[in-house]
Amino acid sequence: MEPAMTMSSIPIEKEPHADYRRIYVDKTCDISQVSVHPGKMVPEHVHMDAIQTYIVLSGKGVVDLDGKKYEIGPGMAVNIATGVKHSTKNIGDEPLVYVYVEAFHS
């Protein structure tokens, strides 16, 4: 990948619940932009080999961390520890857009 790029130059990976743009991925980390469709949810999952941080850019949603729910919106960050079950739901009328940084354990 180029060291400097526009987001529109990064291919979109479409899923039924969200669109993903892989900004940077290697064996140490994954940095991606996620756009969760209104009313949709990124299904519950867990990472046993990484930690994640979400940085919310726009929209509003609810993140569920091991059964505890937190409302999220622009300017907020969410830290997800290794082994925490999590899901993210868009509760607004616009896409919920965030960038996540996932750091893999060595």
pLDDT tens column, 23-50? 999 999 999 999 999 999 999 999 999 9
Domain containing residue 60: 13-104
> Is 5 part of a structural domain of the chain?
no
Kindly state whether residue 1 falls inside one of the protein's structural domains.
no
* pLDDT tens digits, one per residue of 69-80: 999 999 999 999
In a domain, 4, yes or no: no
Residue 30 resides in a domain:
yes
Q: How many domains does the chain have?
A: 1
pTM score, whole prediction: 0.94
- β-partners of residue 13 are 20
**Which CATH number goes with the domain that contains 39?**
2.60.120.10
